[in-house]
């Protein structure tokens, strides 16, 4: 009786969640030619109950590497100060196709970096939503649009990628206030690749009192930098080489002086680790919405406010000299002093520690590469504003440890890795004092093996975690905690026609996000391409 009641309860839950009892309880024994559309466990974007306006930014098909170009026109009927702006990409693709990387620029500002799922023969649809309120200053005026998801369509790779991208603007009306946003969103003038760096010129308004850079850093390009965390030094026998091993660090410099460091997120696209069956329904964390690395450049505001152009360069430490494989488009967010036409200031502290990057290779039947790297940076600067002197101190400490195991022929290839990125920003000044501390942790524990029968199996666990707290006047002013964990196990027969692959795969994502008075906790599960679990705990 107890087993019968549990079965009935499971079926009822499946119906409430839009899952049939068969799907919830009895998934197929292997992948067929069609599977569930891609889904992620992340939360929907919270929006106010106010009037809204929607604008189509791009509607096109990508068959090659020709960008879509158009014109964005601001909405009518929602004012020009909004509480929320939400970008939505709706995509469709059918046939056979690789995963592809793409971007959307409005007025030269990168507002979305994304990748695509790999399709079934009959086709899939998916969507991505992103809060782009911070780009409101750009969206208030007519702007050129450029969008590209580079693609190849031929007799083998038949998938044409169809997309429609819209912006929905939620008005600030009644008790719903306009969101505080940067006064300007700038891009780098004359930006180009110089050696392994991306460089351009930046001229900020002379009354800038806060400056933040965001860099959409992605390792890609189809070469080894897509799997940069697996690269080994030249002395180790492995197919992907990098002189200094797997350590990567995204750096930003102002006039040649180091201004920010960050650990890149180890994104895995939907064909990653040689096993698309692992990602067909649930992609890896951040795969569809590549979040930018952020740097608080406010300590340099006093220097940047002199009215002259300054050289901003972004580079990836560890990338072999002269080698491509990373994209680092950069936006600059600026907040201005409304009561002062000119803000002056200066740099007080610049303490860049010595980078650490140690690799140890252990030969044998099972070869191992142990890597241990890290770096620290502390910068402080001040600005004299209309509301007094404000001093900003930014401290960042990043570490990466990993153990990479493989055998001759690389029929076993495994990695266990951890990245920590700790940052604190302290602001002191009249009415502004406080510290925001953020601890980010990225983890990857995966292995691909190929059996004697040429059956490939990949087991993977990925973690994207972040805890942040703001302290003011000796008390906790705000906090947040994020934990996005993906697990998967998939296998298929290699080098055979599609109908002989006999692919199997299970995957699961649990996304938890907590804050003052808020709780979000959702789990998705799949088996052989069917959605078998959709549970919310909050």
Q: What is the pLDDT of residues 285-325, one digit of tens each?
A: 999 999 999 999 999 999 999 999 999 999 999 988 777 78
Q: What DSSP element (H or E) covers 13?
A: helix 2-16
Q: Can you tell me the mean pLDDT for 170-174?
A: 95
Spatial distance between the Cα atoms of 317 and 314, rounded to a whole number of angstroms? 10
| Longest distance between any two alpha carbons in the chain, whole Å | 79
Going edge to edge, which strands form the sheet with 257-262?
189-194, 197-202, 310-317, 249-254, 257-262
Domains by residue range for the chain, with CATH: 31-181 (2.60.120.230)
257/9: higher pLDDT: 257
Mean pLDDT confidence for 365-377 = 98
Is residue 371 scored above 70 in pLDDT? Answer: yes
495, burial (CB in 10 Å: exposed 0-12, middle 13-18, buried 19+): exposed
Q: Which two tokens stand for residue 208?
A: 């800038």
> pLDDT-derived band of residue 4, with 50, 70 and 90 as boundaries?
very low
**pTM metric for this prediction:** 0.93
**Residue 172 to residue 175: CA distance in whole angstroms:** 8
Q: Is 481 helix (H, G, I), strand (E, B) or coil?
A: strand
d(CA 285, CA 287): 6
Using a pLDDT cut of 70, give the percent of the chain over it.
95
- Give the pLDDT score at 384: 97
**pLDDT value of residue 476:** 84
Measured between alpha carbons, how far is 538 from 536 in angstroms, rounded to an integer? 6
36 or 15, which is more confident? Answer: 36
Across 386-474, where does the E strand assignment appear? 388-407, 412-428, 434-450, 455-472
Residue 25 has pLDDT above 80, yes or no: no
Given a cut of 50, whether residue 17 has pLDDT beyond it is: no
Question: Looking at the DSSP assignment, which residues form a beta bridge with residue 367?
Answer: 406
pLDDT given at position 193: 84
| Residues 411-470 pLDDT 10s | 999 999 999 999 999 999 977 789 999 999 999 999 999 998 999 999 999 999 999 999
């Amino acid at each position: 009786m107890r087993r019968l009641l549990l079965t009935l309860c499971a079926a009822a839950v499946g119906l409430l969640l839009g899952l049939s009892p068969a799907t919830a309880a009895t998934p197929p024994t292997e992948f067929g030619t069609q599977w569930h559309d891609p889904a992620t466990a992340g939360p929907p974007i919270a929006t106010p109950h106010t009037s809204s306006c929607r604008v189509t930014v791009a509607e096109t098909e990508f068959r090659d590497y020709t960008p879509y170009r158009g014109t964005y026109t601001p909405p009518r009927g929602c004012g020009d100060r909004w509480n929320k702006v939400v970008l939505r990409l709706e995509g469709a693709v059918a046939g056979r196709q690789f995963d592809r990387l793409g971007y959307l620029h409005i007025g030269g500002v990168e507002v979305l970096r994304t990748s695509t799922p790999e399709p079934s023969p009959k086709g899939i649809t998916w969507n991505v939503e992103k809060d782009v309120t911070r780009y409101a200053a750009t969206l208030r005026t007519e702007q050129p649009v450029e969008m590209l998801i580079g693609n190849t369509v031929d007799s083998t790779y038949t998938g044409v990628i169809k997309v429609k991208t819209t912006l929905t603007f939620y008005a600030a009306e009644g008790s719903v206030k306009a969101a505080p946003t940067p006064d300007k969103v700038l891009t780098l003038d004359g930006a180009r690749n110089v050696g392994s760096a991306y460089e351009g010129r930046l001229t900020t308004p002379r009354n800038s009192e806060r400056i933040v850079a965001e860099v959409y850093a992605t390792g890609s390009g189809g070469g080894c930098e897509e799997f940069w965390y697996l690269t080994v030094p030249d002395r180790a026998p492995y197919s992907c080489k990098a002189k200094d091993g797997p350590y990567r660090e995204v750096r930003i410099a102002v006039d040649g002086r180091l201004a920010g460091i960050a650990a890149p997120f180890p994104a895995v696209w939907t064909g990653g680790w040689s096993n698309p069956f692992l990602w067909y329904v649930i992609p890896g964390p951040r795969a569809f919405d590549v979040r930018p690395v952020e740097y608080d450049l406010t300590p340099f505001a006093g220097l940047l406010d002199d009215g002259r152009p300054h050289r901003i360069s972004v580079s990836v430490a560890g990338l072999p000299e002269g080698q491509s494989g990373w994209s680092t488009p950069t936006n600059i967010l600026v907040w201005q002093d409304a009561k002062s036409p000119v803000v002056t200031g200066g740099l007080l502290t610049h303490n860049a520690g010595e980078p650490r990057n140690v690799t140890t290779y252990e030969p044998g039947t099972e070869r191992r590469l142990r890597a241990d790297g890290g770096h620290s940076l502390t910068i402080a600067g001040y600005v004299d504003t209309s509301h007094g002197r404000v001093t900003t101190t930014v401290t960042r400490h990043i570490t990466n440890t990993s153990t990479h195991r493989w055998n001759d022929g690389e029929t076993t290839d495994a990695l266990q890795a951890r990245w920590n990125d700790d940052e604190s920003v302290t602001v002191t000044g009249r009415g502004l004092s406080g510290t925001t501390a953020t601890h980010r942790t990225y983890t990857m524990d995966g292995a691909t093996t190929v059996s004697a029968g040429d059956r490939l199996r990949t087991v993977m666990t990925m973690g994207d975690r972040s805890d942040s707290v703001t302290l003011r006047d000796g008390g906790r002013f705000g906090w947040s905690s994020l934990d996005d964990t993906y697990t998967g196990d998939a296998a298929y027969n290699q080098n055979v026609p599609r109908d002989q692959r006999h692919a199997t795969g299970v995957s699961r994502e649990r996304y938890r996000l907590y804050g003052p008075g808020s709780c979000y906790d959702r789990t998705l599960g799949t088996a052989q391409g069917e959605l078998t679990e959709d549970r919310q705990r909050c």
